[in-house]
Chain A
Amino acid sequence: MPDVVCSLLGWAGFDRAAQGILGAGRRLADSLGGKLRAVVLGPADDALVAGAAAAADSVAIADGPLLAEYNPETFLTALATLSKRLAPRAVLLGNDTYSQELAPRLAHRLGGSAAGDAVDVAVAGGQLRVTRGVYGGKATAVIALRRAPGVVWVRARAMAPAEASGRPAGEVEKVSLDLPADARVQVVARQVEAKSGVRLEDARLIVSGGRGLGGPEPFAQLQALADVIGAQMAASRAACDAGWVPPSWQVGQTGKKVAPELYIAIAISGASQHIMGIADSKVISAINHDADAPIFKHCRFGLVEDYQKVVGPLRDRLSRNQ
């Protein structure tokens, strides 16, 4: 069947990622001439169910004791079971860590092909074609998936939501799955970082620091700067690897993909792998003492200075402007 399944994780709610997955799914289903089937795993709130029903032709909510908490093996089995029943042409997932972990294995169980970090999914000559950055963002590739279904994890927040239409809301159905417990893998603890404010992925203002800061202490100065404008904090891989800030702050190819109105990169060189995480920002600006740093090639405006001379006064200036 030329249908498309969108896989949504319940506890994330109807966030920008869920909207993007459904939008991409809707457009793909329309171009294939098939139905859009939303599948929600784990506890789903009303907003997510309503939002999924508005975009999709049907919504299956798979809930149950084994799906209350994420477990890679159980969730994989659940998603594979539901997908097999729906026999779609494509399955779309988001680019959260859980979905990235599930997608290739799901493709294997369905006899299909996966590709990820998609910025575009299209149909050409009967094949799904996935556009994605490769070589750390220095090149773009179009990947033709040769088996069906195509399982694609998309850059969810960069995808436009589904357009409102006169379509009746999709039918919502609860599905109870008789899942075998998989004792091989148990999540014994989950540590969620205490971070105030919105998630980095949804932040509208971001202040980000790199190796050029030279240690963990200057991050406190950047934090003070971020606080006066209500920005979230992020970092380059080099700063995370040095242990100056937690790994969840990493932005880039193998970190968070962010899309703020303004991203301020301080003492970050702008390696292509870092740019891959910030390319969807509306405005990028940088403070770097090297005028030739590649980051400036991606900036709307920039300041060539030693950050140590700038960050404190800039914070004072901005707090007076607020």
Chain B
Amino acid sequence: MNIVVCLKQILDPEIPARDFRVDGEKREAERGSANLVTNIFCENALETALQIRDAHGGKITAITCGPEGAEDVLRKAMALRADEAVLVVNDAAANPDPLFVARTLAAAIRKLGDVDVVMVGREAGDWGAGQTGGLLAEELGLPCVSFAESFEPASAAGTVRVKRQIDSGWETIEAATPVVLSITNHDKNVPRIPKTRDVMQSYRKPLVKWTLAELGIDPGTANSYYQVAELFIPQKESRCEFIEGDTLEAKIDEFARRVTDIIRSM
């Protein structure tokens, strides 16, 4: 099976709120001392792809669209033993809208050719659009299954069996390939840690670079889908009353009293 995994580089989403600042003028987060990392759901997607390839064979191509520095997410993917990597260099449009990204990725995937499964994360941990997978499917004219946690080749050739999460549980979906899957987290796709030797090796592996122009994408069309009009940090802290007491029992009694008061007033 030929699998393409789309990876996005983002500002570390786990930095504490107290260290997070935005530039309201530029409508961007400030980098500060935060690291750039691979979006966690993209890592979940790559982990899922690695399990499939290791069990059933095939090839994994990791692809990202971003500035030159986004090469890091591809090196990391190759350290985890992705087979090939493509960087679509976008140094023209910072924070492009999801349609622009989907059009760019679609052009790159068409250029790659023979693909069975295209994988994306359910959403990016920075802007959290949650749209690229669906838009990419439309651009490529493919079906799409969202919130997938795992998949495997189905008994019928050219078909995959996808397990995906819904609000009340799960669905099992059989989808004809090629198909776009947007991946969510679960206990079986927690990203593995690369081996030191593979990390060293990853820097020697070839990496394909394409420009937007080569793919026929005009950077001027970025943000014609939507635009960030305002960006600010909401002020919404509440003052916590810490429960005091001479003994643990007294504290628990007080905690219970407050809970009971709320229940009685409902």
Contact = CB atoms under 8 A, between A and B. Distances in A.
Contacts of B179: 184-185
A279 B134 CA distance: 28
Contact of B174 (A72, A147, A188, A314): A188
Nearest to A311: B252
B43 to A, nearest CB: 12
Interface string B182-193: 001111101000
Contact size range, A: 35 or more
B169 to A, nearest CB: 4
Interface string A283-322: 1110100010010111111111100011001100110011
Interface in A98-148: 98, 100-101, 103-105, 107-109, 113-117, 129, 132-136, 138-147
Given A140-B233, A141-B230, A305-B248, A253 B128 contact: yes
A198 interface: no
Contacts, number: 254
B246 interface: no
Interface string B139-164: 10001111101000000000001000
* Residue with the highest number of chain A CB atoms closer than 10 Å, among B20, B131, B137, B175: B131
**In terms of DSSP, what is the predominant structure of the interface of chain A?**
mixed
Interface in B78-96: none
Contacts of B256: 314, 317-318, 321
Interface residues of B, number: 86
B242 A302 contact: yes
B259 interface: yes
A41 interface: no
Contact of A241 (B167, B187, B226, B262): B187
Given A73-B143, A142-B229, A184-B143, A108 B135 contact: yes
* Residue with the highest number of chain A CB atoms closer than 10 Å, among B129, B144, B230, B255: B255
A164 interface: no
Contact of A184 (B134, B176, B226): B176
A251 interface: no
B213 interface: no
A241 B176 contact: no
Given A108-B135, A113-B99, A318-B259, A185 B145 contact: yes
Contact of A313 (B127, B133, B252): B252
A291 B242 CA distance: 9
Contacts of A141: 27, 127, 228-231
Contacts of B240: 296-302
B55 interface: no
B208 interface: no
B228 A229 contact: no
B128 A97 contact: no
A229 B259 contact: yes
Contact of A303 (B27, B137, B144, B251): B251
B233 A139 contact: yes
B185 A136 contact: no
A273 to B, nearest CB: 7
* Residue with the highest number of chain A CB atoms closer than 10 Å, among B13, B27, B126, B166: B166
B29 A139 contact: yes
B8 interface: no
A136 B125 contact: yes
B180 to A, nearest CB: 10
A185 B143 CA distance: 7
A284 to B, nearest CB: 8
A271 interface: yes
Contact of A113 (B27, B41, B165, B225): B225
A116 B146 CA distance: 15
B123 interface: yes
Instruction: Please name the 8 residue pairs, one residue from A and one from B, whose CB atoms are nearest each other, closest first.
Output: A243-B187, A104-B134, A108-B138, A104-B131, A142-B230, A317-B256, A189-B172, A101-B146
30 contacts: A97-B166, A104-B131, A104-B138, A105-B137, A105-B144, A108-B99, A108-B134, A108-B135, A135-B126, A140-B233, A141-B127, A142-B228, A144-B228, A188-B172, A204-B266, A229-B259, A240-B185, A243-B187, A247-B185, A248-B168, A271-B14, A298-B237, A301-B240, A303-B243, A304-B242, A305-B251, A314-B252, A314-B255, A318-B256, A321-B260
Interface of B: 11, 13-14, 16-17, 20, 22, 27, 29, 41, 98-99, 122-123, 125-131, 133-135, 137-139, 143-147, 149, 161, 165-176, 179, 184-188, 190, 223-234, 236-238, 240-243, 248-249, 251-253, 255-260, 262-263, 266
Interface of A: 72-73, 96-98, 100-101, 103-105, 107-109, 113-117, 129, 132-136, 138-147, 182-193, 199, 201, 204-205, 229, 237, 240-243, 247-248, 253-254, 256, 261-262, 264, 271-273, 279, 283-285, 287, 291, 294, 296-305, 309-310, 313-314, 317-318, 321-322
Given A141-B127, A185-B179, A262-B259, 5 more contacts: A134-B127, A141-B231, A144-B226, A190-B170, A242-B187
